[in-house]
Chains A and B, each alone.
Chain A
Amino acid sequence: MRERLMYLLAAAAAFLLTWNLYKIFFVLPITANVAAYQIVYFHVPAAFTALSGFFVALGASGLYLATGKFKYDEFAAAVTEVALAFATVNLITGSIWARYAWGIWWTWDARLTSMLTCWLIYAGYMILRRSIEEPTQRARLSAVLSILGCVDVGFVYKSIEWFRTQHPSPVLSIRDGGGMGPGMEAPIYWNFLGLACLSAILIIVRMRQEETAREIDSLRRMAHSY
């Protein structure tokens, strides 16, 4: 059942992403005079995916703390790790865009800086999980961090936005510099859907890994107690 679902999602993701790539490179006019402009079609959906992932993890963590069922912890860990991967994609594509647009490898614009801070928070989550061997304690403490981290993300985005309005710097925006031409919004949303399907596959795989890791830990405990 899981296998079939994964294949279905893989097919959907492959179709969406390929079709979108075709549209981006061959159909849509290039509006900005920046060669790598098309990267924005992955830069923005990656951000959506990452942030929605962190939010979903908050829910899963809350469910774990409320019910104590490990499947919620597995899900939270998997979603967070996948979201972190997409946050990395967002940061790297942002860096590439900045390089092509302004010749610099990084710009402290509001959204990139916020995503970098989120990345640090959730990289901390991964490090925390790695450092706790016992599964129940690991689930409990990382759930608390996930919830606090997500609340913090709200503060981060708002604060950095206000900070940057006082200290303007080059802004990576799809709305400035050329505006959104016709048909430009659609590929971004379709790509989001494609990335979401891809995420789902990665999450399913990752969840199974967590489950197996926990089984191995229990077997080891059982072996040692005899």
Chain B
Amino acid sequence: MGFVRQALTIAAKDLRSELRTKEAINASLAFSLVILVLFSFAFDPGNSEVNIQAVSGGLLWLVFSFAGALSLNRSFARELQNDCLDALIASPAPTGAVFTGKALANYALLMAVEIVSLGIFSVLYDVKVKEYFWPILLVMLLTTWAITVIGTLFSALTVNLRMREVMLPILTYPLLVPPLMAAIVLTTDLLGGTPLAKDTIWVRVLVAFDVVFSWLAVVFIDIVLVG
């Protein structure tokens, strides 16, 4: 299938670029570490009266979404250098394939940063992650895709705007309220020992969001990039 192959070619190109410079990965990881440390001052995990587990979901997803904004912004912005975006649009690759390729690359990078951050979090805050690791991973996989799809689409939408770096968070965070809410509830419950089966409605919210917005993104990307 031409579409899939072209999307994977572009995904590989983005990943190769990023791994060579490591700019976004380093920035995201550093940023998430800083936030995790700063939150310890707000929540004082050493104090046994504070139930860190009750806010763990919120904390983790704030860290993940802030770190995500750093790398998602660059997704289409990096194509402006040397007019590469024009070359991609002029190529036979459908804009949907360009979008999908970039989304896949962003997804891989974001998941990597999140898994590392999760590890750091469990160490710093002494929260046991191992028991429900697989359900937590599922939640991360679903929610990160939502963040990636919206973030990549808006990276394309804001690519030619003056205040691109500011516009992206302003536009994407409100839209991400539903999946982030689902993720926070699920993660907090899972870290607290509630099995996934009790929260299936939230999993369905995530899946529905992912399906609907992935479809909308591919539908609108051509209008956004070409007009």
Contacts and interface: CB of A to CB of B under 8 A. Distances in A.
Interface in A82-113: none
A151 B174 CA distance: 12
Interface string A156-176: 101110110010000000000
Contacts of A156: 177-178
Interface of B: 153, 157, 160-163, 167, 170-171, 173-175, 177-178, 181-182, 185, 201-202, 205, 208-209, 212-213, 216, 220, 223-224, 227
B161 A131 contact: yes
Given A155-B205, A156-B178, A166-B185, A124 B212 contact: no
Contacts of A32: none
Contact of B175 (A149, A160, A162, A163): A149
A152 B150 CA distance: 11
30 contacts: A117-B174, A117-B177, A120-B174, A121-B174, A124-B170, A124-B174, A131-B161, A131-B162, A131-B163, A137-B227, A140-B223, A141-B157, A144-B157, A145-B157, A147-B220, A148-B153, A148-B175, A151-B212, A152-B174, A152-B177, A152-B178, A155-B209, A155-B212, A159-B177, A159-B181, A159-B182, A160-B181, A162-B205, A163-B181, A163-B185
A159 B205 contact: yes
Given A124-B174, A140-B223, A152-B175, 18 more contacts: A120-B173, A121-B174, A124-B171, A131-B161, A131-B163, A131-B167, A137-B160, A137-B227, A140-B227, A141-B224, A147-B220, A151-B212, A155-B208, A156-B178, A159-B181, A159-B205, A160-B177, A162-B201
Contacts of B185: 163, 166
A155 B224 contact: no
Given A136-B227, A160-B181, A145 B171 contact: yes
A8 interface: no
Q: Is the interface of B mostly helix, strand, loop or mixed?
A: helix
A121 B208 CA distance: 20
Interface residues of A, number: 28
Interface of A: 65, 117, 120-121, 124, 127-128, 131-132, 136-137, 140-141, 144-145, 147-149, 151-152, 155-156, 158-160, 162-163, 166
A163 B216 CA distance: 25
Nearest to A124: B171
A124, A149, A151, A166: residue with the most chain B Cβ atoms closer than 10 Å: A124
Contacts of B227: 136-137, 140
A194 to B, nearest CB: 30
A84 B171 CA distance: 15
A128 B174 CA distance: 14
Q: Is the interface of A mostly helix, strand, loop or mixed?
A: helix
B209 to A, nearest CB: 6
A223 to B, nearest CB: 22
A120, A121, A131, A155: residue with the most chain B Cβ atoms closer than 10 Å: A155
B178 A159 contact: yes
Contacts of B171: 124, 128, 145
B100 to A, nearest CB: 17
Contacts of B205: 155, 158-159, 162
Nearest to A130: B163
B181, B205, B223: residue with the most chain A Cβ atoms closer than 10 Å: B181
A148 B216 contact: yes
Contact of B223 (A144, A155, A159, A163): A144
Contacts of A117: 174, 177
Contacts of A162: 201-202, 205
Contacts of A147: 216, 220
Nearest to A162: B201
Contacts of B170: 124, 127
B175 to A, nearest CB: 5
Contacts of B174: 117, 120-121, 124, 152
